[in-house]
């Protein structure tokens, strides 16, 4: 039929475009290669292996057709995406270097005994308490994922009713008020995040000052990726 002929023609055009893009990427790499210990050239493009860094992950997710190979624990990028990879490489390599164990150790030693380290310890201790101030007259739903300013997307497990004293916790919750009460929380599962319906619009300033809101699709996608990685680590 005419429809099938059109579909075959379109498929052929896409295939030719892919070949052209790949050849263009090969030529660009040959003319101006990325020389880095974090990048290897393979038959179809590139493999990128770095220490874990959120910045590296965020940058590579912006590269078209970049994929994580969980078996080899590397990112794979086709030749066709070389221009975008090259555009982002300085940020990727800088973040990878900062994530090297020796660099992390040096920064940790530099922070030791500093106010920054003390703040980090206080924040870590507060996070372990798994609590969140919420307005007593505008409570979040229980056992459903909600987005928060303090901890990203979480699941509120209980409203304790205990009134918040805002002054001692202002460092962690600057918008907490005397009318707030404490809620307890946990991290959401991947299944819960998959079944959460996204908000139609991005949360505004009133919702963010309140401290919780229905997550939008961008927030959910990021949380799902994080939850998927977390569950993979647990399964090992």
Cβ pair 156, 185 in contact under 8 A: yes
Q: What is the DSSP letter of 200?
A: S
Residues of the chain short of pLDDT 50, as ranges, are 10-15, 17
Question: pTM here?
Answer: 0.59
Q: In Å, how far are 70, 226, 229 from 233, measured between CA atoms?
A: 11, 11, 6
> For the segment 99-114, what is each residue's pLDDT rounded down to a tens digit?
999 998 888 787 777 7
> For the segment 3-43, what is each residue's pLDDT rounded down to a tens digit?
566 555 544 444 454 668 888 899 999 999 999 999 999 99
Burial class (CB in 10 A: 0-12, 13-18, 19+), 147: buried
């Amino acid at each position: 039929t005419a429809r099938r002929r059109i579909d075959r023609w379109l498929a052929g055009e896409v295939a030719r475009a892919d070949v052209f893009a790949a050849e263009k990427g090969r030529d660009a790499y040959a003319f101006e290669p990325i020389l880095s210990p974090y990048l290897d050239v393979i038959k179809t493009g590139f493999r990128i292996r770095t220490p874990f860094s959120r910045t590296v992950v965020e940058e590579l997710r912006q590269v078209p057709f970049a994929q994580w190979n969980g078996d080899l624990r590397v990112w794979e990028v086709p030749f066709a995406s070389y221009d975008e990879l090259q555009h982002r490489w300085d940020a990727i390599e800088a973040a990878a270097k900062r994530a090297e164990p020796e660099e992390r150790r040096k920064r940790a030693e530099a922070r030791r005994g500093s106010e920054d380290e003390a703040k980090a310890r206080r924040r870590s201790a507060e996070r372990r308490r798994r609590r969140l101030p919420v307005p007593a007259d505008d409570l979040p739903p229980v056992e459903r994922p909600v987005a928060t300013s303090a901890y990203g997307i979480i699941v509120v497990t209980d409203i304790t009713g205990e009134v918040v004293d805002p002054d001692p916790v202002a460092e962690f919750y600057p918008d907490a008020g005397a009318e707030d009460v404490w809620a307890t929380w946990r991290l959401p599962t991947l299944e819960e995040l998959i079944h959460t319906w996204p908000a139609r619009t991005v949360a505004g300033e009133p919702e963010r000052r309140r401290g919780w809101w229905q997550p939008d699709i961008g927030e959910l996608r990021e949380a799902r990726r994080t939850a998927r990685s977390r569950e993979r680590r647990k399964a090992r």
